[in-house]
């Protein structure tokens, strides 16, 4: 009885952790709110483990955790090349926070009910954070009140403020909204057949428009183009599931032709700032130079600024990892991403037209949006990214378990009939 109560408390703490995700920069005695909750949950799990509570992991979960530990170990080895061992070491230690976060997510979400609950809460949090960003724009433009945000004209929206919500960066704000946007889009597209969100269609549509406007208000080109790609992936996979091949070919051909016709315009929109070449090209060239000098392990985490004597980062997860963690680090990271995408595609393919298909599609849309956005954002320590990765693995395992149960039931039923 006591152990079940402790387990319920852990689930409540994890839900609280989800609500604190937009406020991870707030610190208490040198620790962020997120870290305090993570270590509290770890402490409770340690108590349950001592009391012989079943705290076990599946081999698929262990694989992801091993990948994260390998990434951490490679970052420790890269300290041999680091210009500032103390700085790189502190950043490397932050990888352990990711490990604990993923570990906790694996342990907490083991059943379908809890998985659906977390998906709904992530959606609610996204809507609330979106509203905050929109309010920043409204209060600043209409009432002249500054309640946060980044000054400067955003991409598309003609205002003098970029929405940031509770984040200190509009790009991080846009990055946070990807999963909620994908949950909303899949819920709308599949509303007649499948429902995970227990809301009316018009309410989901209204919330979807709020999230969409917040993404635009962030003024992040990376967020906007990632949104287009993730939306396309979701729509194409739904059409494949419905086996509408001609429509798939038409829908995939039209944007391809448009891209080919407007290639110069797209290049200008993505890679130029005020008509000039984007500064990030120069920053990316620095990462290639660093990789050439230390190809295997890199120069150590958070070493880009020191090596190049500049006060900016390259704004690219893949190039920064390549320069700071070398070939070993980038390969581990890519293996994690490919593994999760594979799990989601398996669920999409083998599931019926049901809730598992919807959640797999939403996670795939959210993850693909984040991975594309990471081309213009250094997101290695981003909490939302790693929660989505953990959810991908959990969904795959829960889906497999449910399929086994259904097969056993059908087998028992056929035997009883005989």
Strongest mean pLDDT among 242-256, 273-287, 352-366:
352-366
What's the pLDDT tens digit per position in 297-317?
A: 999 999 999 999 998 889 899
Six token digits for residue 383: 């909490």
pTM listed for this prediction: 0.89
Long-range own/partner contacts, residues 89-97 (CB < 8 A, 24 or more apart): 90/302, 91/301, 91/302, 92/300, 92/301, 94/381, 95/68, 95/71, 95/381, 96/72, 97/35, 97/38, 97/381
Structural domain includes residue 370: yes
Q: Examine the pLDDT at 413 and tell me if it is beyond 60.
A: no
111 vs 268, residue with greater confidence = 111
Question: How many C-beta atoms surround the C-beta of residue 48 within 10 A?
Answer: 18
Q: Coil, strand or helix: which one is 145?
A: coil
Give me the pLDDT at residue 19, please: 87
Q: Is residue 175 part of a domain?
A: yes
C-beta separation of 218 from 170 below 8 A: yes
Top pLDDT among 242 and 258 is at 242
Residue 269 lies in a domain: no
What was the pLDDT predicted at 48? 66
Query: Long-range contact list for 37-40, CB < 8 A, 24+ apart?
Result: 37/13, 38/97, 38/100, 38/101, 38/104, 39/100, 40/13
- pLDDT band for 256, please (50, 70, 90 cuts): low
Residue 167 region, left (φ>0) first, then alpha (ψ -120 to 50), else beta? beta
Cα gap 394→397, rounded to integer Å: 5
Residue 327 lies in a domain: yes
Is there a domain that residue 36 lies in? no
pLDDT for residue 412? 52
Q: Give the tokens for residue 412.
A: 């028992």
| Position 263 in a domain | no
Query: What residues have CB less than 8 Å from 11, skipping those under 6 apart?
Result: 108, 114
Q: Is residue 302 part of a domain?
A: yes
pLDDT band for position 141 (cuts 50, 70, 90): confident
pLDDT digits (tens, 9 = 90+) for 353-362: 789 999 999 9
Helix/strand/coil (H/E/C) assignment for every residue in the chain: CHHHHHHHHHHHHHHHHHHHHHHCCCEECCEEHHHHHHHHHHHHHHHHHHCCCCCCCCHHHHHHHHHHHHHHHHHHHHHHHCCCHHHHHHHHHHHHHHHHHHHHHHHHCCCHHHHHHHHHHHHHHHHHHHHHHHHHHHHHHHCCCCCCCEECCCCCCCCCEECCCCCCCHHHHHHHCHHHHHHHHHHHHCCCCCCCCCCCHHHHHHHHHHHHHHHHHCCCHHHHHHHHHHHHHHHHHHHHHCCCHHHHHHHHHHHHHHHHHCHHHHHHHHHEECCEECHHHHHHHHHHHHHHHCCCCCCCCCCHHHHHCCCCCCCCHHHHHHHHHHHHHHHHHHHHHHHHHHHHHHHHHHCCCCHHHHHHHHHHHHHHHHHHHHHHCCCCCCHHHHHHHHHHHHHHHHHHHHHHHHHHHHHHHHHHHC
- Band of the pLDDT at 415, cuts 50, 70, 90? low
Residue 390 lies in a domain: yes
Across the range 4-21, mean pLDDT stands at 79
Distance in angstroms between the alpha carbons of the first and the last residue of the chain: 42
Residue 336 is encoded by which pair of tokens? 């994690």
| Per-residue model confidence (pLDDT) at position 161 | 87
Rounded (10°) angle between helices 355-373 and 221-241:
150
Identify the pLDDT of residue 363. Answer: 97
pLDDT for res 61: 96
Q: Is the pLDDT reported for residue 1 higher than 60? A: no
Q: Percentage of the chain with pLDDT > 70?
A: 82
List pLDDT tens digits, range 156-171: 666 788 999 888 889 9
CA-nearest of 14, 44, 192 to 117 is 14
The yes-or-no verdict on residue 402 having pLDDT over 80 is yes
The total of structural domains in the chain comes to 1
- The residue assigned the tokens 């700032």 is 273
State which residues form the domain around 320.
56-243+279-417
pLDDT for 378 equals: 86
The band of 224, judged by pLDDT with boundaries at 50, 70 and 90, is confident
Please indicate whether residue 8 or residue 95 has the higher confidence score (pLDDT): 95
CA separation, residue 206 to residues 181, 200, 289 (Å): 12, 10, 48
* Averaged pLDDT score across all residues of the chain: 85
pLDDT-above-90 percentage for the chain: 48
């Amino acid at each position: 009885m006591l152990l079940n109560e402790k387990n319920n408390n852990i689930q409540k703490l994890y839900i609280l952790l989800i609500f604190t995700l937009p406020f991870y920069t707030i610190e208490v005695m040198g620790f962020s709110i997120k870290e305090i909750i993570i270590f509290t949950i770890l402490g409770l799990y340690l108590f349950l483990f001592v009391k012989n509570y079943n705290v076990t992991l599946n081999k698929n979960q262990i694989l992801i955790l091993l990948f994260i530990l390998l990434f951490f170990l490679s970052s420790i080895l890269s300290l041999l090349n680091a210009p500032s061992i103390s700085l790189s070491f502190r950043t490397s230690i932050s990888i352990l926070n990711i490990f604990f976060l993923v570990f906790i997510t694996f342990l907490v979400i083991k059943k379908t009910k809890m998985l659906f609950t977390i998906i709904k809460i992530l959606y609610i949090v996204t809507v609330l954070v979106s509203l905050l960003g929109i309010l920043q724009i409204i209060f600043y433009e209409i009432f002249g009140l500054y309640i946060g945000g980044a000054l400067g004209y955003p991409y598309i929206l003609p205002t003098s403020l970029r929405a940031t919500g509770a984040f200190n960066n509009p790009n991080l704000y846009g990055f946070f909204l990807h999963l909620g946007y994908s949950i909303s889009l899949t819920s709308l597209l599949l509303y007649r057949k499948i429902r995970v969100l227990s809301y009316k269609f018009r309410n989901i549509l209204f919330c979807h428009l709020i999230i969409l406007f917040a993404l635009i208000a962030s003024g992040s080109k990376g967020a906007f183009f990632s949104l287009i790609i993730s939306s396309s992936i979701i729509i194409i996979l739904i059409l494949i599931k419905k086996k509408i091949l001609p429509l798939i070919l038409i829908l995939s051909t039209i944007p391809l032709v448009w891209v080919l016709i407007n290639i110069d315009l797209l290049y200008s929109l993505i890679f130029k700032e005020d008509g000039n070449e984007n500064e990030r090209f120069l920053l990316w060239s620095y990462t290639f130079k660093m990789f050439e000098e230390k190809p295997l392990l890199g120069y150590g985490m958070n070493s880009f600024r020191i090596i190049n004597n500049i006060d900016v980062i390259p704004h690219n997860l893949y190039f920064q990892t390549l320069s700071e963690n070398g070939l070993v680090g980038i390969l581990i990271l890519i293996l994690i991403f490919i593994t999760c995408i594979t799990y989601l595609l398996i669920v999409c393919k083998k599931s019926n037209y049901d809730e598992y298909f919807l959640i797999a599609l939403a996670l795939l849309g959210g993850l693909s949006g984040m991975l594309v956005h990471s081309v213009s954002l250094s997101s290695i320590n981003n909490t939302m990214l790693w929660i989505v990765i953990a959810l991908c693995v959990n969904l795959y395992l829960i889906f497999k378990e449910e399929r086994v149960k259904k097969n056993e039931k059908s087998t028992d039923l056929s035997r009883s009939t005989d």
